[in-house]
Amino acid sequence: DQQVKQNSPSLSVQEGRISILNCDYTNSMFDYFLWYKKYPAEGPTFLISISSIKDKNEDGRFTVFLNKSAKHLSLHIVPSQPGDSAVYFCAARNFGNEKLTFGTGTRLTIIP
Amino acid sequence: NAGVTQTPKFQVLKTGQSMTLQCAQDMNHEYMSWYRQDPGMGLRLIHYSVGAGITDQGEVPNGYNVSRSTTEDFPLRLLSAAPSQTSVYFCASRTGGGNQPQHFGDGTRLSIL
């Protein structure tokens, strides 16, 4: 039972355009959501997070949107840069539980 | 900025051998955890600790032991390695107190022959 799903294994975007990565979840107890970026042979790097009491959080070029009724979140990167090429993981946690539940990742390729 | 440091980066073992994966953090984080990543899957929690002397099981704990004698270190032990434990292992830490993100080390790639 995959509680966090990233249905797009890969995504290609032109440099300078907007990248939109999507994530769906099934567990309504999740109350904290995170996005991580991962380069080959490195660990996941924290990008941005959002609490369930919010519907949007921005940090520079990165914005995360949360739609609780649809159990859906998305990460927007604008403008996309070549260094953004990586695998992006969506993850979720519920209060009082240390476990992060991860999606399977989306490989983003930025085309120069 | 050392952050979370994992050693070794690579290891090859034979079935039945034991070994310890090391994890150290210099951020004075209370919470530490171990995850494994297998092809086509997200990271899965093996064990975690909410402070020195306190550990608990995660989603896939079988075949692994942990202990937490200091705030800084959280080693993961494989007592008798099996081919199913071939994976990439990531250690993470975070500060306590509500919604704080986990920060990950660069991983240990482990192959069991």
Contacts of B103 in chain A (CB under 8 A): 46
Between B97 and B86, residue with greater pLDDT? B86
pLDDT for the residue numbered B41: 85
Q: How confident is the model at residue B1 (pLDDT cuts 50, 70, 90)?
A: low
pLDDT single digits (tens) A35-50? 999 999 999 999 999 9
Kindly state the percentage of chain B with pLDDT values over 70.
Answer: 99
Query: How many residue contacts between A and B have a Cβ separation below 8 Å?
Result: 58
In the predicted model, is pLDDT for residue B2 greater than 90? no
Q: Do A51 and B99 touch (CB under 8 A)?
A: yes
What average pLDDT is seen over chain A? 95
DSSP string of B51-96?
A: ETTEEEE-SS-TTEEE--SSSSB--EEESS--GGG-EEEEEEEE--
User: Is the Cβ–Cβ distance between A23 and A12 less than 8 Å?
Assistant: no
pLDDT 10s digits, A62-72 = 999 999 999 99
A62-67 vs A72-77, strand pairing mode: antiparallel
Q: What is the pLDDT of residues B28-45, one digit of tens each?
A: 999 999 999 998 888 999
Interface test with B, best of A35, A98, A104, A107 (most B CBs within 10 A): A98
Question: Which residues from chain B sit within 8 angstroms of residue A98, using beta carbons?
Answer: 31, 33, 45, 48, 50, 56, 58
Q: What is the mean pLDDT of residues B7-19?
A: 96
A1 vs A7, A26, A30, A31, A90, CA distance in Å? 14, 9, 15, 19, 16
Are A49 and B99 inside 8 Å of each other by CB?
A: yes
The shortest CB-CB distance from A4 to any of B4, B31, B42 is to: B42
Q: Report yes or no: A59 and A76 within 8 Å, Cβ to Cβ.
A: no
